[in-house]
Structure 1
Amino acid sequence: MAEQIELHEQAPRLKSVSSPQDQDKGTSQQDDVDDTGITEASLTLEEQTDLDARRGQGFEAYPDGGVAAWLQVLYCFCIMFTTLGGVYSWGIFQDALHAEQLAPSSTLAFIGSTQATLEGLCAIPISALVARFGNKNVAVVGAILSGLGPILASWCTKSVAGLFVTEGFMFGAGQALCFFCAATLPSSYFSRRRNFATGLVYAGSGVGGAALSLAANGLIKSIGLPWTFRILGILFLAINLPCAYLLKPRPIISPIHHGAQGGLTWGPVVKISLLKDIRFVLVLIGSAVALFPLFVPPFFLPLFATSIGLSSGAASSLLAGFNLASATGRIGWGVMADRWFGSLNSLLLCLAANATSTLVIWPIAGRVGPLAVFAVINGFCAGGFFSLIPGVVSSLFSDDDLPVAFSMIVSLWAPGDFLGAPIAGYLLQAFGGPDSGYEAYRPAIFYAGGLGVFSALMVFGARVKEGGSWRRRL
């Protein structure tokens, strides 16, 4: 991974800038020329001074700590807590709406899947918006939408269409906008502890999923569904608006560049050159396939638990345990990546462990003990996947490529977000349904585990292509 930021995105009139390493080696460089033929020698004194200042800023060491850096991690954590945490808590609202006989659970489940899918579908355009308008401005819009969605949904508890518009699309769009503003921001403040910082940010979604699920369940029982939507919506606004306003990446790396006349022009939001790199393609395919099985356990653990005779309270506790383990995994895998294995090696181990737990433990978890072990291990690995992806991209490619490469990868998560769990549900129904005992779940379990193995093999291929000793932190 490049430890210093390249400046061709920051220097407005230059195509490339020599690095300090090149200067230390005494390497002679020709005058840098931009696309319009402007050379460094042709710059005015004022422009040359500005360029030197940009060089100094870009080649500073990463802060890798300090109050400003950790405050940004805190703001991003809070945003993930409410937005992705809200997505993970949708099951509580789904159960409540199903109990009121609004619609079948299969129909209501698509509202939750719409929330998650918008992240992938809108990855590339949102990345372009962040590059054009900045993290703060885009996140503020996302905070408003993610708060208004639940508030307006409180008047739509008798309308499936209304819930699709408010909770599905409005909240889903808001949380997607917020996600891309917070997901990679720690990478501009941290190098040595980048995965740890990113893991802390992503842990917000797991903690939020557990906390909001318990809170929503209690509020629905005490004050009803409409007021629960309103209270959570107001809470989202109160947390997200100030955190979004305080977001400040360092430096702002984007696919936007300045034209020769000083006006802003859109740069590429998809880099074809990345698709020519076999390592990127393998990570792209591996992560896209990984999304299909990752949401199967949290969606089906409660049903599976009741099928083996556990109470609904025990089933809810298992799901909360899964979410908390997921939050721990987002931090734990980040620490392991930073200290011992590196991002790519950690992602390979994470996916392999996730697939192994699905194929080995879940099929024989006919009692609460083995099922709890599975929930903890699988949740720990599922959380690690999400927090490791930005570090993997950073370790394989330059920091300039991070926003574009990350958005390209996340855009292919949409099929897995939308179809992964429903396919498992179809397999479950085809082999007897939820009331036929836990044996009926095994085809869905093997489907999830098999795709998990395939995704691990893709990442293994990227690691082989990268080469070097397996003891190397990469």
Structure 2
Amino acid sequence: AAIEDDPPNGDYGWVCTFCSFAIQANTWGIGAPWGIFLDRYVSQGTFAQVSKFEYAMIGGLAMALALMVAPLANRCKRAFGTRGTIVLGSGMASAGVFCVVGCSISVLGPWFSTHRSLAIGIATSRLGFGGLAYSLLAGKLIATYGIPWTWRIMSVTMLFCNLICGLLVKDSPINKSAATANSKPSSFSIRIFTRTPVIIILIWGFVAELGYVALFFSLPSYATSLGLNLSQGSTVQALMSLGTGIGRPCVGWVSDKHGRINTALFLTLFCGLISLTLWIHARAYAPLLVFAIFSGVSSGTFWNTANPIVTEVVGMQESAATYSAVCMVMALPATFGEAIALQFVDEGRADDKGRFLPSQVYVGCTYLVGAAALLMLRGWRVWEMEKK
């Protein structure tokens, strides 16, 4: 217990933090331009028989496969170490994403105590900055070299960056001391799903991920339904990514100061409320840009705070196995979230501005349910602390 309570709280941990940021900016960021590729595939009729639903499933399955291998990645980490697993995952596509991402996140916790959420917030801001970088890169490369060579160039870029950062990442002295004391981290077990706080976290993550995927993929289409051009729709998407990139480190810092569960509860509730109010009434370009920034900060709260919250409620020794189990379950909403969101768009409605109303209400309700789950988790945590 003394070892777990005394992390270095920085030192080489900051190097690991920025390596983790770079790794995740590449692995998740490379998927951000999927909308650009999708537009080219559809406009050029590359796959004439493929429906929008099938395209949505392709994007969902790419994300889901990365999450489904979480327990395998955790086992690889125990067998080959953090560096070995990241190097192994760098040579693979979707199946290797969690080997790279999962290890680069889980390695941060033992390095920090009071700055743990800030470090993870910096690392998980990858979608914003990585998404912006790869989206700009993809647009230029497609116009110059075509789609096949664009995929190749982006893949090689991701490979070399991940290999370099993977070799720089290392476990904290706490993990090495634990190994010396024969205190091995727990492995994946079905019993993880029987614990009350884990069940509550799963409910929160499941509904929040459904809302996040629906919001992320619906916002550009909603912009064009208002009569905005494609460039303005791309700007809306870019500002949401920018809000994510800037907001996540700030959210991490706030959660270290005011409590991780409290911060997650506030932001999840906030995202639900602005989806039901600001988004529904955002019928012009300027208010939609404001919503994009605020939603970028708050919509991905689960991925920003889940790992520190899991560590807080189950302890450092069981955190890696529990977090990998949580990520495995998140594969379900990641797979079907975009496809479900498409079903809520009322294509038969004459008023283009009202076609997305069912989808907007759906997104808002998912976040409100997630906030209710977090309120239950907060109550459980207070009860646990009072018992001690």
2:157 is the alignment partner of 1:235: yes
Alignment TM-score, normalising by the size of structure 2: 0.91
Give secondary structure in 2 for the equivalent of 1:64: coil
* Alignment partners' CA distance in 2, 1:436 and 1:96: 27
Q: Highest Rg: 1 or 2?
A: 1
Post-superposition Cα deviations, 1:62-119, rounded to whole Å, max 9, x if no partner, equal: 22222x2211111111100110111222211111222221234432332221121013
* Alignment partners' CA distance in 2, 1:469 and 1:131: 30
Map residues 43-54 of structure 1 onto 2, 5 A cutoff: none
* Alignment partners' CA distance in 1, 2:317 and 2:210: 29
Structure 1 pair 237–435 and aligned structure 2 pair: CA distance change class (3 A)? farther
| Number of residues of Structure 1 aligned to a counterpart in Structure 2 | 382
Match of 1:269 in 2: 188
Match of 1:224 in 2: 146
Residue 295 of structure 1 aligns with an amino acid whose one-letter code is V
Q: What is the deviation of 1:353?
A: 0.9
Q: Which moved more, 1:108-117 or 1:355-364?
A: 108-117
Match of 2:226 in 1: 308
Residue 40 of structure 2 aligns with an amino acid whose one-letter code is A
Structure 1 pair 372–433 and aligned structure 2 pair: CA distance change class (3 A)? farther
Match of 2:293 in 1: 376
Residue 110 of structure 2 aligns with an amino acid whose one-letter code is S
Residue 135 of structure 1 aligns with an amino acid whose one-letter code is T
User: Identity of counterpart residues, as a percentage?
Assistant: 25
2:152 is the alignment partner of 1:207: no
Match of 2:85 in 1: 138
2:69 is the alignment partner of 1:125: no
Give secondary structure in 2 for the equivalent of 1:310: coil
Structure 1 pair 328–266 and aligned structure 2 pair: CA distance change class (3 A)? closer
Q: What is the deviation of 1:196?
A: 0.4
* Alignment partners' CA distance in 2, 1:247 and 1:217: 31
Q: What is the deviation of 1:211?
A: 1.2
Higher helix residue share: 2
Post-superposition Cα deviations, 1:118-163, rounded to whole Å, max 9, x if no partner, equal: 1332222222222222111111111112xxxxxxxxxxxxxxxxxx
Residues 275 and 363 of structure 2 are in contact (CA less than 8 Å); yes or no, is this contact kept in structure 1?
yes
Match of 1:402 in 2: 319
Give secondary structure in 2 for the equivalent of 1:467: helix
2:60 is the alignment partner of 1:113: yes
> Structure 2 unaligned runs (5+)?
none
* Alignment partners' CA distance in 2, 1:434 and 1:188: 53
Match of 1:415 in 2: 332
Match of 2:46 in 1: 102
Q: Which moved more, 1:435-444 or 1:371-380?
A: 435-444
Structure 1 pair 60–301 and aligned structure 2 pair: CA distance change class (3 A)? closer
* Alignment partners' CA distance in 2, 1:219 and 1:320: 18
2:276 is the alignment partner of 1:359: yes
Post-superposition Cα deviations, 1:253-277, rounded to whole Å, max 9, x if no partner, equal: 59x9899xx9x999641262x4443
Structure 1 pair 95–433 and aligned structure 2 pair: CA distance change class (3 A)? farther
Instruction: Select the structure with the greater relative contact order (CA < 8 A; seq sep ≥ 6).
Output: 2
Structure 1 pair 462–179 and aligned structure 2 pair: CA distance change class (3 A)? same
* Alignment partners' CA distance in 1, 2:269 and 2:52: 32
* Alignment partners' CA distance in 2, 1:434 and 1:251: 60
* Alignment partners' CA distance in 2, 1:251 and 1:435: 63
Residues 81 and 205 of structure 1 are in contact (CA less than 8 Å); yes or no, is this contact kept in structure 2?
yes
Alignment TM-score, normalising by the size of structure 1: 0.75
Give secondary structure in 1 for the equivalent of 2:188: coil
Match of 1:172 in 2: 94
Root mean square deviation, CA, Å? 2.7
Give secondary structure in 1 for the equivalent of 2:135: helix
2:382 is the alignment partner of 1:464: no
